[in-house]
Structure 1
Amino acid sequence: MAAITAATAPDRVAQSWAYTLVLAATGVALGVSGVPAPLYGLYEQEWHLSPLTTTIVFAVYAVAALVAVLVSGRISDVVGRKPVLLGAFATMIAGLVVFVLADTVAMLVLARALHGLAVGATVVAGAAALLDLRPHRGARSGQLSGVAFNAGMAVAIMGSALLAQYAPNPLRTPYVVITVICLVVAAGVLALREPHAARVAGRIRIARPAVPQEIRGDFWFSALGVMAAWSVLGVLLSLYPSLAAEQTGIHNLVFGGVVVASTALAAAVVQLFATRIPARRAAVFGDIGMAVTLLLTIPALGTHHWAVVVGIGLVLGATFGLGFGGSLRHLSNVVPHHKRGETMSAYYLLAYTAMALPTVLAGWAATAWGLENVFPWFIGAVALACLVAAGLGMRRGRIEVAA
């Protein structure tokens, strides 16, 4: 017995990094999804792409992520989180290799599809693994997941912009650098002990977009919040940098990177320090704040001043952090432990749908009528969605108080 204890104790100590590793893996995955954002302008210039083509390339990622979130939750419940994370990182690296070799739009589409599959699987399996590792700290895990998402995206976008602007081979070097980082994280996942000890028996199947009856109201409040937030994220990553460059006259890639990265970084900082605000309240405040700030982006762009454009992006990021972070914390705190994988699949299914469809519609409309003319209408529609999510949250809060 003593020998067994001696053998297992170091293993437990060595696995104390597991929670941090899973958070890092989700951050890196979201970083990979953001690496092409500063490069879309280059692709448009060198390959003569229309805004519609750019948004289709972007949306392919979201559609592939939809497929991943439909199956990866159930797969991770059955076979474990570790195999899903390893497969996701292998797919992620394959997509980066395709990006490095890409010389046609078809290859860009393939690379983005691979990344959608990989990131969707990582997000769902990673969220479930965090709850496995610290089952009694669901809200905290939800908060840190949101921080990791936005911090990973901010660092990757800024790094991609700097490398594309100042390093040789701007359409290849950023992908090479992030590939090395992915290999390091994948090595850590390989050493990870499976966190999901109570795996369930059953067939691996496509998860239905359904949630437990007892948390349905809470789920829809959280889901509407994330749908509104990720609609903003889709256009922010695919079209907004080009619009900001046009309105300010600054076409340096680093400026486009700063616009998006500062927004993501502000979201990460707010999520990190918003722990004292109850999750529902944070989500409602964030949804209302996003609606107001989105409307203010229109006059901000109209000033044609870079500081104003970056400043409104910071405010938008802060409100996005409250809305997305509060929604994710709220859901993580109420989801039943035996339904974690499938519930998170349903949540991210709606999130990626909200990212893909409005982005493609905005790209199509921008190709037909110009991005500057379409942007205010898109902003108005998303602001309305944010207000609907906030209204549902306030209604649920009143119901609970009355009960």
Structure 2
Amino acid sequence: MITDSALGATPEIGPSTAVARAPVGFWLVAAVYALVMLGGTLPVPLYVFWAPQMGFGPFTTTLVFATYALGTVLALVVFASLSDRAGRRPLLASALLAAAASTALFLVARNVETLLAARFMCGLATGVFTATATAALGELAGERHARRASVVSTAANMGGLGLGAIVAGVFAQLGGNPTHLVFWVYLAALLPALVAVAVVPETVAVRHRPVLSVRRPALPGERAGREEFLRGAAAVFAAFAVSGLFSSLVPSFLREQLHVADVAAVGGVVGLLFIVALIAQLAAPARWLSRRWSAPAFLIGGVVVFEIGLWTRSLPLFIAGTLLAGTGIGLAFRRGVEAAQRLADPQHRADLLSTYFLAAYAGTIVPTLALGLLGQVINTDIATLFLAAGVVAVTLAAALGRRTGPTTHPVGRTDRH
């Protein structure tokens, strides 16, 4: 792997003349971040229309979603950390162009292959923007407002994901062309987003020529920081396994097992998970975030309750489980982002954040694909039970991990070996 040290000086990230516009730039980045994440869940309620048109079933639905997650992982491994060298704005603009290309593919999709390509491009855009925007928000906020950066970045992420499913469901229910109208509107919204990125202050003061390479996951250099980071990564892996289930197969569960036919209602239930996660991040008491068992308790409780809802065909129980699980996802995600921002070497902030989000999106790929495969050979209820057991096991392992004491200052270097 080619490292920064092999290519010359590392970038210096710090104040510049443009940072005088940092407050406006901060909120512009946050708004565009939410818009990009919204695009990630726009397709979720629309599989009910594409499936009969293109002739595919639940397994193909999980494959399409896994392709999105694969694009996200590829972006995190190859592209996202380039912003540490090339600057934040070029990567943010490139991600928006990828989102526009993805949207155009959805508009012309007539077969599964085009749908897969559209979801893959959407994943690339999401992966690049997630790591780059989170790093940019931390730098635009400054060390004095690090907590604000963490709260806003996680809110933009979860809020956008929640709104995407809800907006697409409403458009599909009320609009005349359910698989096209929402994408035309989204494509139009990306144009002012490009303008917003163009005026955002650049926070990488010294930039270098970007070099593509497959990067290994970065970790904090000190043992205590490394162990804290890995616990957060394991927790977000489990949390995103649940969100991946909601973004892929829950719409079909709602229609076929819980008899929810209204597309807007389906989008609303899926979006509810992310909206509750957003509210948990913004409104949860500080003691919930500081206690290591708060997020695991909510996540495990939610998985158990919505599993009971699926087995008993009870929509109220399923929704109750969604509320609990969403709270757990929000708490786990915010706690992990705060730790990653705090532990990151400022010169490689996007690098460590990429590793964190890599763990998150790996959590959506492996369990979701496994569930889709299991659903081909065994009862769907039993398949989701296996997924629930896996989520509980990983969550418990992360919570029970040995603690060596808190790390309260940024780690001096990032281990890239």
TM-score by length of 2: 0.88
**1:41 aligns to 2:32 (yes or no):** no
1:159-207 Cα deviation digits (max 9, x unpaired): 1001111201111112112212222212211222212224467744332
> Quick one: distance in 2 between partners of 1:158 and 1:354?
23
- Size of the aligned set, in residue pairs, is 389
Partner of 2:390: 381
Q: CA RMSD in A?
A: 2.2
Measured after TM superposition, the shift of residue 12 of structure 1 is 6.4
Measured after TM superposition, the shift of residue 51 of structure 1 is 1.4
**1:333 aligns to 2:333 (yes or no):** no
- Structure having the higher helix fraction is 1
Spell out the pairing of 1:112-151 with structure 2 (5 A cutoff). 112-136=119-143, 137-151=145-159
1:254-310 Cα deviation digits (max 9, x unpaired): 1211111111111101101236237452x5311232012201112223443433322
> Quick one: distance in 2 between partners of 1:355 and 1:68?
15
1:301-324 Cα deviation digits (max 9, x unpaired): 344343332232122211211122
CA contact (8 A) 1:157 1:261 kept: yes
Partner of 2:105: 98
Spell out the pairing of 1:153-232 with structure 2 (5 A cutoff). 153-199=161-207, 203-214=211-222, 215-232=225-242
Q: Which amino acid aligns with 2:295?
A: G
Partner of 2:80: 73
Measured after TM superposition, the shift of residue 237 of structure 1 is 0.5
Q: Which amino acid aligns with 1:381?
A: G
> Quick one: distance in 2 between partners of 1:67 and 1:290?
27
Partner of 2:317: 308
1:122-173 Cα deviation digits (max 9, x unpaired): 0011111112212313343222211111111111211100111120111111
Measured after TM superposition, the shift of residue 15 of structure 1 is 5.0
Please point out which of 347, 354, 357 is paired with 2:363: 354
> Quick one: distance in 2 between partners of 1:227 and 1:48?
32
Q: Which amino acid aligns with 1:247?
A: Q
Please point out which of 235, 249, 262 is paired with 1:252: 262
> Quick one: distance in 2 between partners of 1:378 and 1:176?
36
Partner of 2:26: 19
**1:272 aligns to 2:279 (yes or no):** no
**1:324 aligns to 2:333 (yes or no):** yes
**1:242 aligns to 2:252 (yes or no):** yes
Partner of 2:7: none
CA contact (8 A) 1:218 1:331 kept: no
Residue segments in structure 2 that go unaligned for 5+ positions in a row = 1-15, 408-417
Percent sequence identity is 26
Measured after TM superposition, the shift of residue 78 of structure 1 is 0.9
> Quick one: distance in 2 between partners of 1:50 and 1:238?
12
Q: Which amino acid aligns with 2:160?
A: G
> Quick one: distance in 2 between partners of 1:380 and 1:46?
35
Return closer, same or farther for 1:318/1:204 CA change in 2, 3 Å cut-off: same
Q: Which amino acid aligns with 2:237?
A: M
What SS does the corresponding residue of 2:286 show, helix, strand or coil?
Answer: coil
Q: Which amino acid aligns with 1:384?
A: A
Which range is displaced more, 212-221 or 137-146?
137-146
CA contact (8 A) 1:288 1:387 kept: no
